[in-house]
Structure formats: C-alpha cells, structure tokens
C-alpha cells in the first residue's frame, strides 16, 4: 500500500475499513461481496497506470468501480483486492458540435454529460433510470440501456473511441473521431459491456445526436396481457418508432397509485406509456397512430397529450415503479430481455411464478425493446421468504431463456448470473471469452469472479493471501 500512497498521495488511497466498507457492494442485494483491501481514487490516467503497475507487480486483483449503482454485483469488492473508484475523473474534456461528439473521463455522471451537451443543442441518448448518479464508465462497462433505447439504441451505439489502461499498465488508445472507420478489429466495442474484466476505461469519445424535439405522450391501459402484447407487436410491424414505449403490470400500477395517489386504473392488467419526439405534426401523427393500435387491441383507456409537463407526469408513474415496489419490501430486480412478440407470455409467466412461490412480483419494463424488470418484493429477515425469492429470481431467468430471451438485457452478468452465462452462450462462446481474457489479462487481475469463472479458487486464495500481507 505504501507504493500506492507514494505514487498517488495518501488522500487517494483509503484504508480505514469503516470508510472502505462503503465501496464493498453495489445495489444488487443478492450478490456476494468481499471487503476491499484498499480503495483507490485516481485523478488521472497516469494514476491508473501507476495502480495497475503496482497491482500487476504484486499480483493484486483490481475491481474497477463507478458510482456503484449497478444491479448485478459487478463492482462488488473482492477480498484482498484494490477497489479502483473512478468518480474523481469526472471532466467533460471536449464537446465538439461540428463533429457531433464529446470526449469525457469515465467518472462523469450520465446526467452531467446530457446537461453539458444540451447546452449546445445536442443529445447523448443512453438514459438508464439511474442517470442522475451512474457514471459513463459504468455505462460503458455494462453497455447500459434505458428508456429511449427503442429508438436510439444502447451505449455501444455511441462509442467512437476509448482510452483503456490494460492489466499490465499499458495505455491502449483505440477507435476514432470519424463517423466511419474500419481500421483493424473494433477493439473499442470489445471493452463495452466487459464489466471491468478487460481493462480500466480512462477516457471515451462518444457520438452525439441533435437534441430531440418536444415530445407527444400516450398512456393506455389494458384488461389483458394479450392486448398489451398485441400493441407492442403492431408497433413493430407497422414501422412506428416511438422514442419510448414502457410497460407496467398491475402490481406496479397499484404500488405506484398507493405511493403517488395518482388515480391510476387499479383494475388494469397493464399500462403502456409511449412518447414520440419526431417533432410537431409528425409526433402527433405517430402518437395518434399508436392510439389507434391501442383502441384496435381493445384498450380500456387511451389518453394523449402534447403538453410536456403532463407528459412528464405520465412518465413519473413509470419512473416511480421501483420506489413504489420498495414500499412493499426489499427488492430483487431481475433483468431479462425477450423477443418483443413474447412479452405477453413473459408477463403471464411472471404471474405464475409469483403464485407458485407465494411472493409479490411487479413487472416494469422497456416494452419497445422487450427488456423486462420483474421485481421480487420480500422480507429478507424471513429465511423462508428469502429462499423463495432467490428461487423466483432463477425461475424468471429460466422463463426468459425458454422464450428465446437473454438472462440480461442491460444490467450485466456481474456476480449474480455467472452460473447462467454458459447456459445462454454455450461452451464455444465461453472458450472465446476465456481466450480474450487470457490475451488481455493473463494473470486474471481485473475484476476476478465476475461475468464468468476463470481463476481457480486455490489461485485466488494465494493472491488474496499475498495482498493481505501487503
């Protein structure tokens, strides 16, 4: 630790367990977590290089961390490892309107970047619901999505170039500032979604878009999941591209209504909220067409508005789904994406799991891209409930895979779905993952135990023993 303090200064290296404990875990209750041997807060790429050089010299594992808002335990501490917290590297280095891009450090909070580029009429679309505290480094490393993915895609769609400090301390600069570019493998995107297992991102060049136009909003309720699913399918087949299409099930509707006293339709099986930012008459026409689809499917209630304040109020119901479910107990938030044609089957399947496991499960999700967040509410102090909650979490993953979906649409594999990755991707893809990891991090120092198993338990014990004596 003295080497780290010499290189970065004592103010950047935290050793007091009462302080470092705050960096032990993210927001995923289910995930295992150790205790950091040290928490290091670098201020520059040179600091990160120094940390990785010390770490690789001594064989000490390093867990990169952003804001810790993750929902998969991906930045959870590993016993004996350094937790490398990137939040002090929080500068927007450049906004270049003529090239429609921004260059940022990884600790920039998503909303800070959105605000900075909005000032010059530009837009950074990826908008995880945690956008007011999660960092761009975390977004890149989990390939975050959000509400507007249905139209604008996910984080990887905005990555032009990256600076990454590799496990051995070398600095890789990859990617470009140009709109097009195919020189060599697309290494920048290899790091996107790699959950801190391949390198530490220290800078990102991100594409921007023109600011969206004033939105028109729709809310509609349905008596059945089949009607809800039909609308989503018809949106896709009719070529409509709303900028947002979200769904909440009855459990979420009632929980939000209890919390906000918003006079929601508590009898509805599902609520859809949609927006179009196509601008002016185009947005009105798009939402009118969507309203027609809802009525044709048998919607009980359809409301549209071009008043942004009222639109925000309708969106608030969706945004408050999680805090509302938190009133019902501790929450385990799952993250399964299914083909959009299977959304109704997925909602019905979650209901059946809730009945079978005798638990409350509310489903809120990005209907436009099929990414659903079934949220299990339970009392963690009750052993039996906790066991049933964990079992329901797995049931939901099983259900998602059986419908042709994926075990994670945006939160990542982290520490909680390691056992599920091979089931989804198969042994050949897992071998390719391991080969890439071996090429970039042969000693397995970066974020061990996350995404897939690589380090033998005996090896890790040897490594952590070494750190313990440092």
Ligand X SMILES: Cc1cc2nc3c(=O)[nH]c(=O)nc-3n(C[C@H](O)[C@H](O)[C@H](O)COP(=O)(O)OP(=O)(O)OC[C@H]3O[C@@H](n4cnc5c(N)ncnc54)[C@H](O)[C@@H]3O)c2cc1C
Residues that bind ligand X (CB under 6 A): 26-27, 63-71, 74-75, 86, 106, 128-130, 134-135, 137-139, 141-142, 144-146, 195-196, 200-201, 322, 410-411, 447
Considering the complex, state which of residue 121 and residue 323 has its C-beta at the smaller distance from ligand X: 323
Considering the complex, state which of residue 29 and residue 291 has its C-beta at the smaller distance from ligand X: 29
Considering the complex, state which of residue 6 and residue 132 has its C-beta at the smaller distance from ligand X: 132
To ligand X, the closest distance from the beta carbon of 468 in angstroms equals 22
To ligand X, the closest distance from the beta carbon of 333 in angstroms equals 8
- Tokens at residue 254, please? 């009632």
Considering the complex, state which of residue 227 and residue 371 has its C-beta at the smaller distance from ligand X: 371
Considering the complex, state which of residue 106 and residue 161 has its C-beta at the smaller distance from ligand X: 106
To ligand X, the closest distance from the beta carbon of 138 in angstroms equals 2
To ligand X, the closest distance from the beta carbon of 201 in angstroms equals 4
Considering the complex, state which of residue 134 and residue 293 has its C-beta at the smaller distance from ligand X: 134
Beta-strand ranges (E) seen in 267-313 are 270-276, 301-305
To ligand X, the closest distance from the beta carbon of 302 in angstroms equals 26
Closest CA relative to residue 155, chosen from 106, 198, 200, 120: 106
Considering the complex, state which of residue 373 and residue 388 has its C-beta at the smaller distance from ligand X: 373
To ligand X, the closest distance from the beta carbon of 322 in angstroms equals 5
- Tokens at residue 170, please? 């070398």
Beta-strand ranges (E) seen in 321-404 are 330-333, 336-337, 360-366, 371-378
To ligand X, the closest distance from the beta carbon of 422 in angstroms equals 19
Contacts of residue 66, Cβ cutoff 8 Å, sequence gap at least 6: 75, 85, 86, 87, 106, 107, 134, 135, 136, 137, 138, 139, 141
The strand pairing partners of 274, in sequence order, are 218, 245
Considering the complex, state which of residue 136 and residue 347 has its C-beta at the smaller distance from ligand X: 136
Considering the complex, state which of residue 26 and residue 286 has its C-beta at the smaller distance from ligand X: 26
Contacts of residue 316, Cβ cutoff 8 Å, sequence gap at least 6: 260
60 near 402, Cβ under 8 Å?
no
To ligand X, the closest distance from the beta carbon of 27 in angstroms equals 4
H-type alpha helices, 136-246 = 136-142, 149-152, 187-191, 225-237
Tell me how far CA of residue 414 lies from CA of 33, 73, 310, in angstroms: 11, 5, 38
What are the φ/ψ torsions at residue 386 (nearest 5 degrees)?
-65, -45
To ligand X, the closest distance from the beta carbon of 331 in angstroms equals 10
- Tokens at residue 114, please? 């959105």
Burial 181-192 (b: 16+ CB within 10 A, else e): eeeeeebbbbbb
- Tokens at residue 441, please? 């991090």
234 near 370, Cβ under 8 Å?
no
């Amino acid at each position: 630790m003295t080497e780290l303090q010499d290189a970065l200064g004592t103010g950047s290296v935290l050793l007091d367990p009462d302080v470092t404990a705050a960096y032990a875990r993210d927001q995923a209750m289910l995930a295992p977590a150790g205790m950091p041997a040290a928490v290091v807060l670098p201020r520059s790429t040179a600091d990160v290089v120094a940390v990785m050089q010390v770490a690789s010299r001594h064989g000490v594992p390093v867990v990169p961390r952003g804001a810790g808002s993750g929902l998969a335990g991906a930045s959870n501490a590993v016993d004996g490892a350094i937790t490398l917290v990137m939040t002090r590297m929080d500068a927007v280095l450049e906004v270049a309107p003529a090239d429609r891009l921004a260059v940022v450090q990884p600790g920039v909070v998503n909303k800070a970047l959105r605000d900075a580029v909005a000032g010059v009429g530009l837009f950074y679309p990826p908008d995880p619901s945690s956008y007011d505290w999660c960092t761009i480094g975390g977004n890149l490393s989990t390939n975050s999505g959000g509400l507007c993915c249905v139209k604008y895609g996910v984080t990887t769609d905005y990555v032009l170039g990256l600076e990454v400090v590799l496990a051995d301390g070398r600095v890789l600069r990859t990617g470009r500032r140009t709109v097009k570019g195919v020189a060599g493998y697309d290494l920048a995107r290899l790091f996107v979604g790699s959950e801190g297992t391949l390198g530490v991102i220290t800078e990102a060049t991100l594409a921007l878009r023109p600011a969206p136009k004033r939105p028109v909003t729709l809310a509609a309720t349905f008596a059945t999941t089949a009607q809800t699913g039909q609308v989503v399918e018809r949106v896709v087949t009719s070529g409509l591209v709303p900028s947002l299409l979200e769904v909440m099930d009855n459990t979420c509707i009632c929980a939000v209504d209890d919390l906000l006293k918003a006079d929601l339709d508590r009898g509805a099986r599902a609520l859809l909220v949609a927006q179009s930012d196509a601008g002016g008459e185009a947005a009105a026409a798009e939402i009118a067409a969507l309203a027609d689809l809802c009525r044709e499917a048998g919607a009980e209630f359809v409301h549209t508005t071009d008043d942004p304040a009222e639109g925000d109020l309708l969106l608030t119901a969706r945004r408050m789904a999680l805090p509302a479910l938190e009133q019902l107990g501790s929450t385990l938030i799952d993250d399964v994406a299914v083909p959009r044609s299977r959304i109704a089957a997925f909602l019905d399947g979650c209901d059946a799991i809730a009945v079978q496991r005798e638990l409350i499960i509310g489903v809120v999700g990005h209907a436009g891209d099929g990414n659903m967040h079934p949220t299990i509410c339970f009392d963690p102090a009750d052993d039996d409930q906790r066991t049933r909650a964990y079992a329901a979490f797995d049931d939901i993953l099983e259900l998602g895979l059986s419908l042709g979906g994926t075990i994670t649409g945006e939160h990542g594999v982290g520490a909680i779905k390691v056992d599920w990755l091979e089931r989804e991707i198969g042994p050949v893809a897992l071998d390719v993952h391991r080969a890439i990891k071996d090429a970039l991090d042969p000693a397995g120092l970066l974020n061990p135990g996350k995404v897939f198993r690589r380090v033998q338990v005996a090896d890790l014990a040897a490594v952590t023993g070494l750190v313990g004596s440092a």
